[in-house]
Amino acid sequence: MTETADDTAPRPETVDLARAFEESGTREVLRELDEEMIGLAPVKSRIRETAALLLVDQARRRMGLATETPTLHMSFTGNPGTGKTTVALKMASLLHRLGYVRKGHLVTVTRDDLVGQYIGHTAPKTKEVLKKAMGGVLFIDEAYYLYRPENERDYGQEAIEILLQVMENNRDDLVVILAGYADRMDRFFESNPGFRSRIAHHIEFPDYTDAELLQISEIMLSEQNYDFAPEARAAMADYIALRRQQPHFANARSIRNALDRARLRQANRLFAEAKGPLGARELSTITETDLRASRVFRGGLGTDRARMAQAAE
């Protein structure tokens, strides 16, 4: 019944890549990526390369030089808080603008959303998630938890099989991004060659430098209409250097948490000290004391807890 446009439209003799770059909105997405995200130079350049590849592929298909939908599934590796989810959102939007996914939404899941508790539970759960993600991008965080070799009867295997099938058969319908720590992802791919062969693009997310994290902290604050007092900025720099050496450091996520706690301390301080009416200035300034009260300056977030966490693993 259906007649696709390709059957009837005449093939172009030449293509204008610069124009396609502009008109597809690719340029716009890349500009957003550059402006909104601090650092991440290698990630940005990988995405730029991917965009170029897709634009060329699109042009080749229009000229009849290629017919297959390219494999677009990806892996994003890196430590927590290095911007993987945010970049995935941009990637979904990029793929949508280039016409590789129809809707461009991002569905973020972990093992618990895919794997069931009892027999017959996993397949419907996985399919439900896949159906929701169709037309967009499925982002599986800490994907290696799907595979538990120590338990032969683990239902994760069932989810993996369905995922692989859909990643292969429904390449037009969704793009899967597997994300997690680099070393664990490597081991996961070693034991699941099916995944490795279906992933075309590997993108590594480096840790942020101290300077980048400081810049991120200032942006985060200003988004909430706060800022640092002059000496507080130095305290934040000290905080970042110390925090990095302590357990469970999660890059930008640790910074967000630190700022949340600093705002809490600021509020308490204002209550304790205030003698008269407060102005906007006082209400939106984070001072050095708000930061230096952190346990990070006193040896860390409870070394006991860190030890317990290690024992559990």
Partner 1 sequence: MRLTQGTFSFLPDFTDEDIRLQAQYAIDQGWAVSVEWTDDPHPRNTYWEMWGHPMFDNPDAAAVVFEVNECRKEHGSKYIRVIAFDASPGWESIRMSFIVNRPAEEPGFRLVRQEGEGRAVRYTIQSYAADRPEGARYA
Binding footprint of partner 1 on the chain (CB under 8 A):
1-2, 4, 102-103, 105, 124, 127, 130-132, 134-136, 166, 170, 172-174
Nearer to partner 1, 103 or 305 (CB): 103
Nearer to partner 1, 81 or 136 (CB): 136
Cα–Cα–Cα angle for 201, 203, 205, nearest 5°?
Answer: 170
Q: How far apart (Å, rounded) are the C-alpha atoms in residues 88 and 83? A: 8
Angle in degrees, 0-180, between the axes of helices 84-97 and 26-36, rounded to the nearest 10: 170
* DSSP 8-state class, residue 144: G
Nearer to partner 1, 8 or 225 (CB): 8
CB 253 within 8 A of CB 231: no
Q: How far is the CB of 86 from partner 1 (least distance, A)?
A: 21
Q: How far is the CB of 138 from partner 1 (least distance, A)?
A: 12
Nearer to partner 1, 124 or 247 (CB): 124
Residue 60, Cβ density class (10 Å: 0-12 exposed, 13-18 middle, ≥19 buried)? middle
CB 81 within 8 A of CB 125: no
Q: How far is the CB of 282 from partner 1 (least distance, A)?
A: 46
How far from 186 is each of 54, 75, 147, 151, 291, CA to CA, in Å?
26, 10, 13, 20, 38
- Six token digits for residue 173: 């319908």
Nearer to partner 1, 90 or 96 (CB): 96
Q: How far apart (Å, rounded) are the C-alpha atoms in residues 140 and 113? A: 9
Angle in degrees, 0-180, between the axes of helices 230-245 and 210-223, rounded to the nearest 10: 130
Give the bridge partners for 286, in sequence order: 228
Report the amino acid identity of residue 291. Answer: L
Nearer to partner 1, 105 or 263 (CB): 105
Nearer to partner 1, 14 or 67 (CB): 67
Q: How far is the CB of 152 from partner 1 (least distance, A)?
A: 27
Q: How far is the CB of 103 from partner 1 (least distance, A)?
A: 5
Q: How far is the CB of 163 from partner 1 (least distance, A)?
A: 13
Compute the half-sphere exposure of residue 292: CA atoms within 13 Å on the CB side of its CA. 9
Q: How far is the CB of 132 from partner 1 (least distance, A)?
A: 6
